[in-house]
Amino acid sequence: MTKTILFISPTGTLDNGAEISIFNLMKFLVKKGYRVLNVFPDYKVPSQEEYQVELQKAGIETHGLSAVKWWWEEAPGGSPGNHYKRIQGYKKNIRDLKRIIISEDVNLVISNTVNVFQGAIAAAELGVRHFWLIHEFPEGEFAYYREKLDFISYYSDQIFSVSGALNEDLTNLLPKRKILNFIPFSYVKKINLKSAENSRIVQIGRITDNKNQLELLKAYQKLNINIPLVFIGAEDESYLKKCKDYIKSHGLDNVQFLGYRENPWFEVSEKDICVFTSKIETFGLVYVESVLNGIPTILSDNAGHKSAFEYMNEQGHIYPSGDLDTLTSMISEVLGRFDQEKLEAVKAVPSLKERYSLESVYANITEKIEDDELRHKKVNQKDIDFLNNRKALTKSVKSAVRKLFQLKKMS
């Protein structure tokens, strides 16, 4: 009998590594004969309509659910509505997921981010297997989930995390659980890079503080060379302003922001080098795409980048994050010996593509999908105590008392 697998999507868009990676896994599973469903938070935005179209073209059935907040209350994304509305939204989403699991005869639920929990609860209440795929380091904006690890461990039949530094961290934090690994996969179509006569420095990725474009701008200023610096990616307006203010104050006149491109590699030429300066990455898919396109590449040494760098046979160059002198000299050296760098980058592509295949990167997940062992999890009321409304009631009472006190003072 064909197994039915239900994926819980983090965002319902294809503008982040976790979604791109698991979109490719879902397509791979469809080709292997599984029935694949996907649930996403439906905020009625154009990018989600495009997401649905892409998934449906791949034979993946989509279910959009209205949500107040889709991620844990403590997770990034602010606090839309109020606590009461968020709790009611979570409860509704769990009921919706249970309805889908029952009506579609789902055999396995997979939560494709540490930030969602509704699928884990719904699966436990119905006695269905649940996997958790973790893409995020428990630090910075995601540090909050360290307090959720006991919950995650209990409500998972199997936990998977991105290979390398993240897997090591989670293995240390959950020593009693075997955390299996996977490599995020981004399908790199063979493209012909644009022909060009001169080199440029290119960075692909959203313009945000985490991607750290300011570090590259500072290195570019120190280089003091007359070649273009090109940024390709959607833009966080407040951070873009910081970048443009820096450009203006330092008189940099050869910097371009091209904005979002559906396939950014069509904008890259055969003479370009790529530089990635992120502060934090889980793995670094855009670095992988760069070296698979035969582009001389430089990347910062955050933990995720280092994991990807090691997996891709240390192709390219890695520098200590924050070290402007090393970054500047590295860019200068790669540009100075560009022809040799390009030759080595192109020569490495066939072996890297052989290593980076769907069959190998998701082997642990596909093997466990065929394993029908179910950990006997029962929903513990204490575990889901956060789904009550006492906090909201307490806030309401405190607010009413404050107002009454203020009225008394005024009178």
Q: With the CA atoms of 385, 388, 391 and 393 taken in that order, what torsion angle do they form, in degrees rounded to the nearest 10?
A: -150
Structure tokens at 136: 């995020």
| Per-residue model confidence (pLDDT) at position 385 | 83
Structure tokens at 245: 């203010």
Same-domain check for residues 252 and 350 = yes
338: in domain: yes
- φ and ψ of 149, to 5 deg: -65, -35
Q: For 324-334, how does the pLDDT look when each residue is reduced to its tens digit (9 = 90+)?
A: 999 999 999 99
259: in domain: yes
What count of other Cβ atoms lies within 10 Å of the Cβ of residue 189? 9
Same-domain check for residues 371 and 333 = no
Cβ atoms of 122 and 109 closer than 8 Å: yes
Question: Which amino acid does the sequence have at 361?
Answer: V
Same-domain check for residues 20 and 87 = yes
What gap in Å lies between CA 206 and CA 227, rounded to an integer?
Answer: 22
Structure tokens at 3: 């197994």
Question: Which amino acid does the sequence have at 154?
Answer: Y
The domain total for the chain is 2
Higher pLDDT, 396 or 243: 243
180: in domain: yes
Last residue of a domain, one of 355, 370, 405: 355
Residue 402 pLDDT grade (very low, low, confident, very high; cuts 50, 70, 90): low
For residue 6, list its beta bridge partners: 37, 109
Same-domain check for residues 336 and 386 = no
Structure tokens at 328: 């500047």
Same-domain check for residues 232 and 152 = no
Element (H, E) at 303: helix 303-311
pTM of the model: 0.81
Same-domain check for residues 210 and 303 = yes
322: in domain: yes
Q: For 225-280, how does the pLDDT look when each residue is reduced to its tens digit (9 = 90+)?
A: 999 999 999 999 999 999 999 999 999 999 999 998 888 999 999 999 999 999 98
Same-domain check for residues 219 and 329 = yes
Examine the pLDDT at 181 and tell me if it is beyond 70: yes
What gap in Å lies between CA 406 and CA 403, rounded to an integer?
Answer: 5
Same-domain check for residues 351 and 377 = no
Residue 396 pLDDT grade (very low, low, confident, very high; cuts 50, 70, 90): very low
Q: For 126-180, how does the pLDDT look when each residue is reduced to its tens digit (9 = 90+)?
A: 999 999 999 999 988 899 999 999 999 999 999 999 998 899 999 999 999 999 9
Examine the pLDDT at 15 and tell me if it is beyond 90: no
> Which domain does 280 fall in, by range?
201-355
What gap in Å lies between CA 265 and CA 43, rounded to an integer?
Answer: 29
Q: What value does the mean pLDDT take over residues 93-122?
A: 97
Q: For 271-318, how does the pLDDT look when each residue is reduced to its tens digit (9 = 90+)?
A: 999 999 999 888 888 999 999 999 999 999 998 899 999 999 999 999
Same-domain check for residues 82 and 169 = yes
- How is the beta sheet containing 317-319 ordered, strand by strand? 255-257, 229-232, 201-204, 273-276, 297-300, 317-319
Q: What is the CA radius of gyration of the chain?
A: 24
211: in domain: yes
Same-domain check for residues 176 and 276 = no
Same-domain check for residues 262 and 349 = yes
When the pLDDT of each residue in the chain is averaged and rounded to a whole number, the result is: 91
Give residue 146's region: left, alpha or beta (phi > 0; psi -120 to 50): alpha
194: in domain: no
405: in domain: no
Same-domain check for residues 301 and 379 = no
181: in domain: yes
Q: What is the CATH number of the domain that holds 252?
A: 3.40.50.2000
Furthest-apart CA atoms within the chain: distance in Å: 83
Examine the pLDDT at 371 and tell me if it is beyond 90: no
